[in-house]
Amino acid sequence: MTTTKELVQAIKKELKVQHKTYADLASALDMAESSVKRMLAKGDMPLSRVDAICQALGTDFAEMARRVADERPMLTQLTAAQESAVVADPKLLLVAINAMSLWTVEQMTQTYRLSEAECIRYLAQLDRIGILELRPLNRYHLKLAKTFRWRPNGPVMQFFRDNVVLDYFGGSFAYDDEGLFLVHGSVSRAAATQLLERLQKTGQDFARQHLTDQHLPATEREGYTLVLGLRRWEFAAFAALRRTTARP
């Protein structure tokens, strides 16, 4: 929902981009400059006036509303309630994951047993949850930041622990373009923080490469899943062998 305050800010920004003044806008609206300033300051104007302003700026209300939506702060994390809603329906979770990978409705319906009507219905549900904004012609705009992550102990991560982890790590990782790395060591907490930052960058690099390769034919792309993790952990069987008291 576009608020009046956000719309006014968008109008002011567009005036600046076009190097136009309040006087220019007042002339186009056949109003006094002081009246335009007062109107924008109060944010009190009928839709007909908004349409006239958009026309004067060479745009329309729908486009202006989209710009407002695009400039809103992106979500870095969902609430527990939002995540619970996502995992409540496996098909909704499927569409959410695909949407986060910027799949089109056509790609989703061609790949999975989803009708176009189902897919759109799930996208509309994700719109209500707040993950994306559904737009005309079945397009959508994600509301998630590049640094977005699921809640560490939230419903989605718990779902993956219960249903996905064993399936993922049960693979052989035998292909030349696959890899499974297990490294254990003791490092400082400062160094661990730096390593975590590099892991996060690797995840972002993977996401950027996904976007870059979208122009390639589907036959030249393969679906990969990158799992990154760093935690204070020791295999339980090893921990059981630790001495409970220090050596003399």
Residue 1: predicted pLDDT:
43
The CA distance from 86 to 94, in Å, is: 9
**Burial class for 123, CB neighbours closer than 10 Å (0-12, 13-18, 19+):** buried
Mean pLDDT within 223-246: 83
Mark 9-21 as b/e (b = at least 16 C-beta within 10 Å): ebbeebbeeeeee
Question: Considering the chain, what percentage of its residues have pLDDT values greater than 70?
Answer: 95
Which residue has 């994951």 as its token pair? 97
Retrieve residue 240's tokens: 């059981």
Residue 80: predicted pLDDT:
94
Which is more confidently placed, 245 or 172? 172
Give, in degrees to the nearest 5, the angle at Cα 241 between 237 and 243. Answer: 150
Q: Is the pLDDT of residue 54 over 50?
A: yes
Average pLDDT, the chain: 87
Q: Is the pLDDT of residue 37 over 70?
A: yes
Mean pLDDT within 207-219: 84
Looking at domain 4-71, its CATH architecture is Orthogonal Bundle (1.10)
Mean pLDDT within 105-131: 94
Mean pLDDT within 216-231: 88
Taking residue 143's Cβ as centre, other Cβ atoms within 10 Å add up to 20
- Domains of the chain by residue range: 4-71, 73-170, 172-248
